[in-house]
Structure 1
Amino acid sequence: MKVRDDVAEFFDRFATASDGAGFHPTLLTLDPVSVTPVTREQVVASLPKRKEFFAGLGISGMTLDSLDESPVDEQHTLVRSTWRLERTESSTVPEGTIFASTYLLRRVEGEWQIVVYLNHQDLRALMSA
């Protein structure tokens, strides 16, 4: 993983957090079929539905697999990540499936926050696979 220590620490916390603390109060989410401005509260409210969606596919969680950082300026950095799916025995998702996401982070009062979240997979397509 090629990232600065503070960025790696941010993702260590982000990987296990469910309170939305890593998100900026307003952010942009993207995937192959949509672009949506959302609030941190909307992200937090969507987490139980996302967890339920993944459970229906036999995914019990995700583990951070890799990070690669490209600093943009003193206040922003672009981070590419991959996440390894943790599958149950009855999962309909192929073994070894990896999710790729890209994040634009902004330093706010000394702390990194996600201002753009790009999910490279169309989750609806995964459901029909």
Structure 2
Amino acid sequence: MSQIQTPVSRFFQSYAQKSSEDNIPAMVSQFADPFLSADPHGTHCVRTAEFAAALPKRKLLFDRLGCMPAVLEDLHETQLDSRYFLAKTTWRLDFAPRDSSQAVHILVDSTFLVDTGEQEFKIVMYMAHQDIMQILRDRGILPA
């Protein structure tokens, strides 16, 4: 990802780095408590403690499937007002199965609403545009 460095882009580069290092406490600290989570199945409010508890389980599953750390491919930010930014992102997930099959590359889109009004920026809304588990099943990475 190459673009002009802004405070919001640095925030997401930091998030991507923390994610690649599996630094769950640091990742979770970038979210408001609670935050809104939306995906193709609906919307719900998530407490950061619940989020922190779910992340290791997701990591174990993705590790078992041969997933490499997610790479932030693209970021488009829109300032909504003096405090909030909308960040549209594209992430690349690379799966290198442990068997001899070919690596699979998947691009997923997500949108974040970021509160920049505090000293530390916080994600107040996260929207996954695709059902990643269904994509993994459709691509034969995750058994049905």
What's the TM-score once normalised by structure 1's chain length?
A: 0.87
Shift of 1:57: 2.7
Q: Per-residue deviation at 1:112?
A: 1.4
Query: How many residues are matched?
Result: 129
State the match for 1:15 in structure 2: 16
Matched, 1:52 2:53: no
Larger Rg: 2
Q: CA deviation at 1:88?
A: 1.5
Change (3 A) 1:3 1:120: farther
Cα distance in 1 between the residues matched to 2:63 and 2:105 = 17
Contact 1:64 1:81 in 2 (8 A): yes
CA distance in 2, matches of 1:104, 1:27: 10
**1:82 alignment counterpart:** 90
2:82 and 2:102 map into 1 onto residues whose CA distance is 39
RMSD (CA atoms): 2.2
Letter in 2 for 1:116: M
Q: Which runs of 5+ in 1 are unaligned?
A: none
4+ residue runs over 3 A deviation: 1-4, 89-94
Query: More strand per residue: 1 or 2?
Result: 1
Q: C-alpha separation between the residues in 2 aligned to 1:73 and 1:62?
A: 30
Deviation at 1:52, TM superposition (A): 1.7
Q: One-letter code of the match for 1:109?
A: E
Scaled by the length of structure 2, the TM-score of the pair is: 0.79
8 A Cα contact 1:2 1:69, kept in partner: no
